[in-house]
């Protein structure tokens, strides 16, 4: 029997009032595979431990099959947990490790049949008489999973179970976990900071930052329609191109988005999403372009929804099945500060107003802006996006390159391996404006319109 898990406005704080989970509400259907995704320290594992009963819930409610389980003991929740570090008993064989929870649950029963059936399911029958020190990392993780499966629990909780393994083994075990949970039909909550795992395993993905739920949806939804700039930048390989732009909407001319030395001319008649950009006239926005929405082609090959820009080849990455090309287009990258940090910077303490400091009206405007930006990560001292200025001289550019902050160029494009490019080559680029993301200065998505649902048939 599988079970439904619901979190209603759940919060958790540690010492000094640090809130690691903040008002989290999430419903997990019976048999669903949900992935909690986010940077290290964002509260993913804490959520998992609260579901398991290993951490107390400070506020809110945990429901298991509709019953409040805040005060239930871990043993009474019928939930099995797979840890990151395997957590096998070194003095026990694999057979004893798998059968240990069965002997605890029912000391008089013989665990051998269930241990054998579990080992056969995982393909580790020949490892049952070995000790953990005689197993490889992948074999130990299979035994740890077997210990959880043998209990026939109502839900699985997996806390980054593949993070200690090499890349090839991770890919293989990822496929095995997906197949296994699908066959068993058991509710699974899987924690990871690896977006490749999240996108390939989850029925739905819940993105967290600083203990705040940013977005939840199918992998395709969170990739195709990120709610804010943090989700857009965190999900996707290579990382989305984020560029500083300014909306130009003259009454007697075409609407454009200036990217510095070049501009994207929006096709007429304007679609509903592009018409809504008129309210951003003269304002700085963040333009998001996935690497696959830009293609290398001449103006003659342009579709009605595509705009032409030119790029200078800076670097070519050959990936075998594809090529990633770094271009310089004269645009200025927009950087999400502390993208990998567990939480955004806190608002500085309030002080008395002095000459030159913002007054009450300015503070009210700032507070309203931070509320609009709530999903990006809570209150901040200003805009969540810093517009990166181009280096003023060669020395500054060299220093930037040494620091490793910037990749070559300002635009990464995915193309096929048969395209022959070389450094310094000037290339025409066509941008698909129907797949353009525009975010406001607070990081919220304004194009496509937030009310638009993703068209999964596109």
> pLDDT tens across 2-11, in order?
789 999 999 9
The phi, psi pair for 398, rounded to 5°, reads -65, -40
User: pTM above the 0.85 mark?
Assistant: no
Q: Which residues contact 198 (CB under 8 A, 6 or more apart)?
A: 35, 37, 190, 192, 205, 219, 235
First to last CA, the chain: 37
Chain-centre distance for alpha carbon 190: 13
Q: Are the C-beta atoms of residues 10 and 60 closer than 8 Å to each other? A: yes
Return per-residue pLDDT of the chain as tens, 458 residues: 678 999 999 999 987 777 899 999 999 999 999 999 998 888 999 999 999 999 999 999 999 999 999 999 998 899 999 888 878 999 999 999 999 989 988 888 889 999 999 998 888 899 999 999 999 888 898 899 899 889 889 999 999 988 877 888 888 888 888 888 888 899 999 999 998 899 999 999 999 998 999 999 999 999 999 999 999 999 998 999 999 999 998 888 888 999 988 999 998 888 888 888 888 888 899 999 999 999 999 999 989 999 999 999 999 999 889 999 999 999 988 876 654 444 655 544 545 445 555 555 555 544 444 333 333 333 333 333 444 443 334 333 333 433 344 557 899 999 999 988 989 899 999 999 999 999 988 888 999 987 654 454 44
- Helix axis angle for 137-149 and 112-122, nearest 10°, is 130
> pLDDT tens across 337-376, in order?
654 444 655 544 545 445 555 555 555 544 444 333 333 3
List domains and CATH numbers for the chain: 5-224 (3.40.50.300), 229-344+380-390+407-447 (2.40.50.140)
């Amino acid at each position: 029997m599988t079970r439904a898990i619901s979190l209603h406005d759940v919060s958790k704080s540690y010492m000094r009032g640090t809130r690691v989970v903040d008002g989290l509400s999430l419903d997990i259907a019976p048999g669903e595979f949900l992935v909690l995704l986010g940077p290290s320290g964002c509260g993913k594992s804490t959520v998992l431990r609260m579901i398991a009963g290993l951490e107390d819930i400070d506020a809110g409610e945990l429901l298991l099959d509709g019953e409040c389980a805040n005060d239930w003991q871990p043993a009474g929740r019928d939930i099995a947990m797979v840890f990151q570090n395997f957590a096998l008993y070194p003095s026990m064989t694999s057979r004893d490790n798998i059968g240990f929870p069965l002997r605890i649950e029912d000391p008089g029963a013989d665990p051998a049949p269930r241990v054998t059936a579990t080992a056969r399911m995982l393909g580790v029958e020949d490892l049952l008489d070995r000790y953990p020190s005689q197993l490889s990392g992948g074999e130990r993780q299979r035994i740890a999973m077997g210990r959880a499966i043998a209990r026939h629990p109502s839900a699985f909780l997996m806390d980054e179970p593949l993070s200690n393994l090499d890349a090839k083994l991770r890919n293989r075990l990822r496929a095995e976990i997906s197949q296994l949970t699908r066959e068993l039909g058991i509710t699974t909550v899987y924690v990871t900071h690896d977006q490749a795992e999240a996108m390939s395993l989850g029925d739905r993905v819940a993105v967290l930052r600083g203990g705040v739920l940013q977005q939840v949806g199918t992998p395709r939804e969170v990739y195709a329609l990120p709610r804010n700039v943090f989700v857009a930048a965190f999900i996707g390989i290579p990382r989305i191109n984020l560029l500083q732009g300014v909306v130009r909407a003259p009454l007697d001319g075409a609407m454009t988005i200036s990217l510095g030395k070049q501009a994207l001319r929006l096709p007429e008649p304007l679609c509903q999403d592009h018409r809504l950009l008129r309210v951003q006239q003269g304002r700085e926005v963040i333009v998001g372009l996935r690497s696959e929405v830009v293609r290398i082609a001449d103006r003659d090959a342009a579709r009605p929804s595509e705009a032409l820009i030119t790029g200078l080849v800076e670097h070519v990455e050959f990936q075998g099945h594809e090529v990633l090309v770094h271009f310089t287009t004269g645009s200025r990258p927009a950087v999400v500060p502390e993208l990998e940090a567990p939480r955004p910077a806190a608002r500085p303490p309030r002080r008395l107003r002095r000459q030159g400091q913002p007054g009450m009206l300015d503070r009210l405007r700032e507070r309203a802006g931070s509320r609009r930006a709530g999903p990006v990560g809570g209150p901040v001292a200003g805009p969540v996006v810093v517009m990166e200025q181009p280096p003023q001289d060669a020395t500054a550019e060299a220093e930037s390159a040494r620091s490793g902050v910037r990749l070559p160029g300002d635009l990464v494009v995915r193309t096929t391996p048969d395209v022959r490019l070389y450094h310094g080559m000037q290339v025409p680029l066509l941008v698909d404006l129907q797949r353009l993301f525009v975010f406001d200065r607070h990081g919220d998505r304004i194009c496509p319109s937030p009310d638009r649902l993703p068209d999964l048939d596109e």
